[in-house]
Every structure is written in structure tokens, then in C-alpha cells.
Amino acid sequence: MKRSVWVFVVVAALSWGLPGIGNSAEEPGKSRPLPPIPLSLNEVLAWIDRSHPLLKGAGTEKVAARGKMLKALGAFEPTLINDTEVERFISSSNPQKGTQTVGFNDTLVEARHPWGFRGSAGVRQAIGDAKIPDLSFGGGNNQVILGGFFPLLRGLMVNPENAELQRSELADPRAEVKISQTRQDLFLAAATQFWDWVSTAKFVDIQRRALNVAEERLKQVEGRAKAGAVAPLDVVEAGQEVQRRREVAIAAQRALEQEQYKLSMFLWDNQAPTIPQVERAPDFPPPTPTPAMEMVQAHKLQAKTDRPEIREVDIEAKINNIDLELAKNNLLPSLDAEAAPARAPEKFVLGLGYRFGLELRIPILQKRSRGEVLEAQAQADRLVLIQRFREQQVAVDVDNALSAIERAKERVAAATESLRMAKTLEEGERFRFSLGATSVLFVNLRERNSVDSENQLVRAKADYQKALALYQWATGSWAKSLPTAVPVNYRVGASLSK
């Protein structure tokens, strides 16, 4: 009986002292912090689309395009006109009436058509005695006034106002091109900076691990030196290696902080850049299959239509065609027909209600018009050459990006094999050092070689991801498509209960 009571007391005491038993019963609702969510490139690109000031600034081009359209349409908007004309004169046919004061008050609406026609309609009220021969009403004191201007050769359908309207219609596509160009450049710069940040985070981790190994070895060598197993000079050697690796780790930390600040310029929130957390640095994705040649050719053809540089030249060519058409129209003689109410009060009072006219003007030398045509034709020829250059440049950009992908994959394979061999040599040298067959110097050299090989592998992986980003930029896939990821607001250390 005493033995069973003693066993019960021992078991109770052990169960009270074990943290896995007592603590779990006391704090069942305590939650663990969430692990960091790795930051992805798609999230960075989505962040740029959402709040980057340069992209927002490019978006104002759409507002400016609407302003240009309204400005061009202003030339054709109706205008309300109120005109009062009064004259004092002595009639030559009836001088006995003496000095007369007569005139009119016109209220009319005037408008212009893009084809070059101008028209007006309104009401005229006579001031004084007047003879109204046409379209009178209201006891013969009022008149309906109608007028029109009709270009028959120069200015018919092609005129400066209509040309400006056509240019303004291209302002919106030009704004889209500028937005696409800004997005393309921002996305490429962000992708390059993102993988630079990831690679420097890996460098810091590599240097910290190497520093920890050197510090542990220093403790080991100090213990063996106290026991007389190694020379005191080996302690100095191990200590110097610790300080060397600590300096390299500090430099790597500074490089990481610099890349963090650079990447923050692509992560804007509340009108200010946001510095990414180091804990969110992701691992490198595995390599993807290289696009087949048929797909590469299809991407080249698509890039020749999607790349903003190609679309910009196309818009410039359309604008130049408008200028060329206007310049050729200016070579035509000016033949204008006009019908309008009489504007001189004296003639109106005497009974001249309307005037009709037909005017012909023929420039003799046409120097200005011929010069405008030559200038527009030269610009058209230049744009054709630029278009050809841009198309070939797009094809070269795609080939260059594809070459970068292939060479980076080969570098990753070679660096992986080099790291495997370096690790083998490092482990072998450590084993020899444990047996006393080698010195600290050779162990340090083997470890440095492993660190260099691992750094080379990180650089190769980063260059491979940059090459993929360059391929997307070269094919123009970022010009129209938007990233699918949504930016997240994540705090490290947040618990499940919050």
C-alpha cells in the first residue's frame, strides 16, 4: 500500500513539472503566430497597378486626351450672337428727309460643320424705317435671316479644324500607348529589382550560416588549444576567419537594406513607399520549360502589334497622313460660295436684304503648300523606316531574352553541380581536420569555396528569373494584361485570434 501511494505521488509530481502536460491544460486557447507570407512578383506588379505614382501620372494622359477632344470640338459648337448696327446718313435719292438714324438688331445662332460648311439662322429686328424685301414678318418690321458659307474646292471635307479634330481622336490611343509603355518599363524594373532583393536576402542567409560555422569552430579550436592538441596560432587563424566572415555578413546586410529601399519605390501605400520585410523574401521558383520555336514565332508576331513602341509609330503615321492630306488639299484653288444677310445698315434700309457671292482664288507659285507636302511626305518615309526598325528590334529583343533564358538555365545546372562538389570537398576537409590531418586554413578555404559556389547558384537563379521577366517585356505581355494577384496587408506576428 505504501509503495502504490509513493508511485502515485511520483507520477503526479512528474506530470506537474512536464511543460507538455501542465501548460497545455492551462492555456488551450493560446494561438501561434502566422508564418510570413512570401512576397510574390505578381503581388508587386499588382501593387504597382494599384498605387504607383508614375503609373497614375501616365493615367492623366487620358484626361489630357479628353481635353484635346473637347478643345477640337469647340471649333464646331454653336454660337449665340447678338449684333446691333446703327448708322446716320443722308439719302442721296431723298435728301429732303435730312439725316436719318437707322439700323438693325440681329439675334442668331451660328455653327460650323467639320466638312467646312458654316451656317447661321436667326431673327433681325429693324431700327427705323426699313424696306424688308425677303422673309419679313411681324408687320414688316422683322426678318428671318439665314446664311451659309460653302467651300467647293479647298477646305471641302479637309480643313484645319477638321484635321485638328481627327488628331484629337488619336489622342486617346496615344494616351493608352504611353500608359502601356510606362507599365512595361515599371514592370521590368520592378521584376529586376525584386529578384535583386531576393538574391541579396539569400546572400545574407549564406553569410550568416558561414559566420555561425566559423564561430563554432573558433570555440572548438580554443578548447583544443587549451588541451594542447593544436598550436595557439590556429586559434588566431580561426578568430581572423570569424572577423572576416562577420565583415562580409555586415556588407551583405547593407546590400540587402539598399535593395529593400530600392524595392520600396515600387510598393506605394498611402502616398509613401513601403519597405518590404526580409521575412517575406521567397525562394526561387523551379525552372520552367523553354517555349517552343512555334510559340516563339507566335510571340514575335503578337509583340509586333502589342509593343507600345510599334503602336506609337503607327499613331504617328496616322497623324502624319492627316497632315499630308491637309497639305495636298491646300494645293487646290479656293472656290467659296456664300449667302448671307446684308450687314451694312444703309443697304439694308434701302431694301438690300441678302447678298450672294462666289469667290475664286488661285495661288500662282504654291510655294507654301508644296513645301508642306514635301515635309509631310518626308516624315511619312521616315516613319516607314522607323516602323521597320522597330519591328526588327522587337524580334531581336525576343531572341535576346530567349538566349538569356537558355544560358541562365545552363548556368543554374552548372552552378548546382559545382555547389555539390564544393560541399563534398568541404565535408571531406572537415573530416580530415577532426582527425588532425589538416589545418584550419584548409578548412576555411574549402568553406569559402562552398560559399562562393552557393552565391554563384543564387546569382544564376536570379538571372534566370530576370531573363523570364525580360521575355515578358520583349513580347509585350505586360502592355495590356494586368496581374492576377491582389496586394495583401500582412503583419508578421499576427495571431489567429485577431
Q: What is the pTM of this model?
A: 0.79
Residue 140's Cα: distance from chain center in Å?
A: 67
Nearest to 37 by CA among 497, 353, 486, 419: 486
Q: How far is the C-alpha of 72 from the C-alpha of 76, rounded, in Å?
A: 8
**Can you give the three-state secondary structure of 207-235, one letter per residue?**
HHHHHHHHHHHHHHHHHHHHCCCCCHHHH
DSSP H or E stretch at residue 309 = helix 308-329
Tell the residue number behind the cell numbers 455653327, with chain if given. Answer: 111
**3-state DSSP call for residue 358?**
strand
Nearest to 50 by CA among 183, 178, 176: 183
By the 8 A CB rule, do 119 and 341 touch? no
- The set of residues, in sequence order, having a beta carbon less than 8 Å from that of 170 and lying 6+ positions away, is 315, 318, 319
Predicted confidence pLDDT, tens digits, the chain (498 residues): 444 444 343 334 434 343 343 343 344 444 566 677 899 999 999 999 888 888 888 778 888 888 888 888 888 889 999 988 887 767 666 777 767 777 778 899 999 888 988 988 888 887 777 667 777 777 767 888 888 899 988 888 888 888 999 999 999 989 999 999 999 999 999 999 999 999 999 999 999 999 999 999 899 888 888 888 778 888 998 899 999 999 999 999 999 999 999 999 999 988 899 999 999 999 999 988 888 899 999 999 999 988 999 999 999 999 999 999 999 998 898 888 988 887 766 666 666 667 788 888 888 888 888 998 999 999 999 999 999 999 999 999 999 999 999 999 999 999 999 999 999 999 999 899 888 888 888 988 999 999 999 999 999 999 999 999 999 999 998 887 554 444 444 433 333 333
Phi, psi of 355 (to 5 degrees): -125, 145
Q: How far is the C-alpha of 253 from the C-alpha of 440, rounded, in Å?
A: 26
**3-state DSSP call for residue 485?**
coil
By the 8 A CB rule, do 497 and 29 touch? yes
Beta bridge partners of 109: 80, 121
Half-sphere exposure (CA, 13 Å, Cβ side) for 250? Answer: 6
Phi, psi of 101 (to 5 degrees): -115, 110
pLDDT value at position 369?
87
DSSP H helical segments within 113-231, as ranges? 160-169, 171-226
| Contacts within 8 Å (CB) and 24+ apart, 370-377 | 370/331, 372/323, 372/326, 372/327, 372/330, 373/324, 373/327, 373/328, 373/331, 375/327, 376/320, 376/323, 376/324, 376/327, 377/324
Q: pLDDT tens, 332-351?
A: 988 889 888 877 666 666 66
pLDDT value at position 57?
84
Residue 162 is which amino acid? N
Q: How far is the C-alpha of 225 from the C-alpha of 228, rounded, in Å?
A: 5
- The set of residues, in sequence order, having a beta carbon less than 8 Å from that of 225 and lying 6+ positions away, is 231, 232, 234, 235
372-to-327, 333, 366, 429 alpha-carbon distances in Å: 6, 16, 10, 81
pLDDT value at position 397?
94
- The set of residues, in sequence order, having a beta carbon less than 8 Å from that of 102 and lying 6+ positions away, is 86, 87, 89, 126, 127, 128, 129, 130, 345, 346, 349
